[in-house]
Amino acid sequence: MKTLLAKLLGVSVNLLNFFLPIFKQVIATGVANLLPVALEIVTQLATSDMTSGDKKAAAVELLKKAAIKEGITASESIINWTVESAVQQLKATK
């Protein structure tokens, strides 16, 4: 799997082996810090009269702003995944 990923990225397996744990740690740390914030945002938006699409868009924008404020660098996909995870956690508690 790493060999395929290395070929797709155009890097050597050794370079991938060096950076992959670092990338995993950075992503995990960012998500761990953002998830409680996302859960708070999603919980607040859950009772609004907005459509689910509007709620998601608002949650993503609010989480982006919170990430910037906290100095956390996160890609759009990480922000979206974190919001979706918060929604699933909220649904699981109901």
85 pLDDT band (50/70/90 cuts)?
very high
CA distances from 22 to 5, 11, 29, 64, 80 (A): 16, 16, 11, 22, 21
79, with CB counted inside 10 A (0-12, 13-18, 19+), is: buried
Is residue 5 in a domain? no
pLDDT over threshold 90, residue 87: yes
Is residue 73 in a domain? yes
Is residue 75 in a domain? yes
Coil, strand or helix: which one is 6?
A: helix
Q: What is the extent of the structural domain holding 62? A: 29-93
Average pLDDT over residues 60-89: 92
Is residue 83 in a domain? yes
Domain count, the chain: 1
CA distances from 94 to 46, 88, 90 (A): 12, 10, 7
Is residue 66 in a domain? yes
Is residue 9 in a domain? no
Is residue 61 in a domain? yes
Average pLDDT over residues 8-32: 66
Is residue 8 in a domain? no
pTM over 0.85: no
